[in-house]
Amino acid sequence: MPASSVPDTSIDLLLVDDHPMIVEGIRQMLLPETDLRVVAQANSGKQALELLATHPGLDVVLLDLSMPGMSGVELACAIRDNWPAIRVLALSMFHDHATVAEVLEAGGAGYVLKTASRAELSLAIRQVAAGRTYFSQDVADTLLQNRQITSSLEAADQPAITRREREILQLIAREHSNLEIAEALFISERTVETHRRNLLAKTKCKSMVGLIQYAIRHNLLS
Amino acid sequence: MPASSVPDTSIDLLLVDDHPMIVEGIRQMLLPETDLRVVAQANSGKQALELLATHPGLDVVLLDLSMPGMSGVELACAIRDNWPAIRVLALSMFHDHATVAEVLEAGGAGYVLKTASRAELSLAIRQVAAGRTYFSQDVADTLLQNRQITSSLEAADQPAITRREREILQLIAREHSNLEIAEALFISERTVETHRRNLLAKTKCKSMVGLIQYAIRHNLLS
DNA sequence: CAAAAAATACGTGGTAGCACGTAGGGTAAG
DNA sequence: CTTACCCTACGTGCTACCACGTATTTTTTG
């Protein structure tokens, strides 16, 4: 029913997830929905970009957020910048507000949890394809709990973690002390402290307890 | 080819995962393998136990480790104790040695990562069904790296985290201080410190940095 | 080349987290 | 009833983490 620019009324999808099992599961879940066509699937952000270049007719990209290498959020930004007409639907295990906010800032049109049923998933795809948005119930609750409209505007700048910071974060996660990290990287302990401080600021965490959770959810550890 | 006690040569499977997408994905991945029959699927440990009681002919249970409520490890223990003939194949995102060791202690016959391909998964199922074991390459590496045969024998006692400890762990994860937790639970700050210490001892972590990772991997947070 | 960002580094100071030891009351299991 | 476990609680002391301010060198980017 919804008017679109593609010749037929079907919705063409690209699936992106590093787990073959999940890609396969989604594909098969959507098979009975005759108006939803999975025309391509990728196991990494890099591969997804290649497929986007060779598949001009895509309507919706369904992408996992936590992937090694290029994260789902980065991929979403790339899609927003290079193929603004394509709708992005995020798929994730988690629904902390930091992650949800990042997806919104990256231009995501919807956010579905991996616990979603077939019915919910296909509904979400049709909604975003029709130009609307869709959020799983738990995700919507997260958004309502923290009415931080500020974070979607102000904090939209750059929680970009640098290579060095990430390196230090990984050593922290392995329970190394500042001194140990300093000796391992041949830098001053003060420098490690500074990196630590910058990490906390960028992730808006109060301590390592929050930072580690951020790191795991964003797949920043090995 | 492998001789078995079931009338025909097919392997009867129970799938357990809280994510419908993954259950569906596995089911469809195994569909072409005519000797592997998915006869039941559950979305929780509780449901799995019910299905185990009503399906006597099961050969292999393929179960996800991180599920809300009853964890995969607990379920594996229950299967080992009540249906010792059934082979358990664990399925997980992670392969840290603590988790792998727990699965072995719980009587698991194999451990496959969620990144596994169709070929690897079906091979793993046939291996465990035939009485052998199977571990994904990364998992095997983990086992070889830490030849802590001690941990499989000595530490097999009880990293059992109590209800109260888990409650405190969740508050810690929300970045609350000892004092805040004490006030919230109407107990002394000293008591919170003791719980903290016991948590570190039971999980063999050096600090909260390690404990938080343990908690996330073991699905101990909300 | 100029501007911006990243990586490096120091000082001062507070306090929360953690080590280690000890112990009494409640409750469930043998 | 005894044993074991959980939850509760205190004391002492150390130090790693964190807050806040500042600044130079190197690299990247426009």
pLDDT in tens, A135-187: 887 777 766 655 443 333 333 334 578 888 888 998 999 899 999 899 888 89
Cα of B213 to nearest chain A Cα, Å: 7
Measured CA B188 to C1' D14 distance, in angstroms: 22
Question: Is residue A69 predicted with pLDDT exceeding 70?
Answer: no
Mean pLDDT to the nearest integer, B35-40: 93
Q: What is the spatial distance between Cα A13 and Cα A149, in angstroms, rounded to a whole number?
A: 31
Protein-covered nucleotides of chain C (CB closer than 7 Å) are 5-11, 16-23
Mean pLDDT to the nearest integer, A65-89: 80
Cβ contact (<8 Å) for A212 and B207? Answer: no
Q: Which nucleotide is nearest to A200 (CA to C1')?
A: D18
Measured CA A7 to C1' C24 distance, in angstroms: 79
pLDDT tens-digit series, residues B131-170: 888 888 877 776 665 544 333 333 333 457 888 898 899 8
Whether B162 CB is under 7 Å from strand D: yes
Residue of higher predicted confidence among B93 and B124: B124
Q: What is the mean pLDDT of chain A?
A: 81
Tell me the chain A residues in contact with residue B117 when contact means C-beta distances shorter than 8 Å.
Answer: 20
Of B21, B121, B173, the CB nearest to A114: B21
Q: What is the pLDDT of residue B69?
A: 67
DSSP run (H or E) holding A87: strand A87-92
Q: Kindly report, as residue ranges, where domains of CATH 1.10.10.10 are found in chain A.
A: 158-217
Cβ contact (<8 Å) for A115 and B216? Answer: no
Whether B207 CB is under 7 Å from strand C: yes
Residue reference for tokens 């929905």: A33
Mean pLDDT to the nearest integer, A20-40: 89
Q: What is the pLDDT of residue A90?
A: 92
End-to-end CA distance of chain A: 46
Cβ contact (<8 Å) for A115 and B20? Answer: yes
Q: Kindly report, as residue ranges, where domains of CATH 1.10.10.10 are found in chain B.
A: 159-217
Cα of A63 to nearest chain B Cα, Å: 14
Whether A205 CB is under 7 Å from strand C: no
Measured CA A182 to C1' C10 distance, in angstroms: 15
Measured CA A196 to C1' D27 distance, in angstroms: 21
Mean pLDDT to the nearest integer, B32-39: 92
DSSP 8-state assignment for residue A10: P
Q: What is the CA radius of gyration of chain B?
A: 19
Q: What is the spatial distance between Cα A129 and Cα A13, in angstroms, rounded to a whole number?
A: 10
Of B114, B121, B175, the CB nearest to A207: B175
In terms of DSSP bridges, do strands A87-92 and A110-113 run parallel, antiparallel, or are they unpaired? parallel
Question: Is residue B2 predicted with pLDDT exceeding 90?
Answer: no
Measured CA B24 to C1' C21 distance, in angstroms: 54
Residue reference for tokens 């109260």: B164
Q: Kindly report, as residue ranges, where domains of CATH 3.40.50.2300 are found in chain B.
A: 11-153
pLDDT tens-digit series, residues B46-101: 888 889 889 888 999 999 887 776 678 788 888 877 787 889 999 987 777 667 77
Using CA atoms of A122, A125, A127, A129 in order, give the dihedral in degrees to the nearest 10. Answer: -140
Mean pLDDT to the nearest integer, B2-22: 75
Using CA atoms of A160, A163, A164, A169 in order, give the dihedral in degrees to the nearest 10. Answer: 70
pLDDT tens-digit series, residues A94-148: 777 667 777 877 778 889 988 888 889 999 999 888 888 888 877 777 666 554 4
Question: Closest residue by Cα to the C1' atom of nucleotide D16?
Answer: A177
Q: What is the pLDDT of residue A143?
A: 64
pLDDT tens-digit series, residues B179-218: 989 988 889 999 999 999 999 988 888 899 999 998 888 7
Strand partners, B36: B11
Measured CA B64 to C1' D8 distance, in angstroms: 36
Q: What is the pLDDT of residue B93?
A: 79
Tell me the chain A residues in contact with residue B213 when contact means C-beta distances shorter than 8 Å.
Answer: 173, 212, 216
Q: CATH 2.60.120.1140: does it fit domain A158-217?
A: no
Q: Would you identify the CATH topology of the domain B159-217?
A: Arc Repressor Mutant, subunit A (1.10.10)
Q: For residue A61, name the pLDDT band (cuts at 50, 70, 90).
A: very high
Cβ contact (<8 Å) for B115 and A29? Answer: no
Q: What is the 3-state secondary structure (H, E, C) of chain B?
A: CCCCCCCCCCEEEEEECCCHHHHHHHHHHHCCCCCEEEEEEECCHHHHHHHHHHCCCCCEEEEECCCCCCCHHHHHHHHHHHCCCCEEEEEECCCCHHHHHHHHHCCCCEEEECCCCHHHHHHHHHHHHCCCCEECHHHHHHHHHCCCHHHHHHHHCCCCCCHHHHHHHHHHHCCCCHHHHHHHHCCCHHHHHHHHHHHHHHHCCCCHHHHHHHHHHCCCCC
Whether B187 CB is under 7 Å from strand D: yes
Tell me the chain B residues in contact with residue A172 when contact means C-beta distances shorter than 8 Å.
Answer: 209
Q: What is the spatial distance between Cα B23 and Cα A137, in angstroms, rounded to a whole number?
A: 21
Cα of B93 to nearest chain A Cα, Å: 9
Q: Name the CATH architecture for the domain at B11-153.
A: 3-Layer(aba) Sandwich (3.40)
Whether A49 CB is under 7 Å from strand C: no
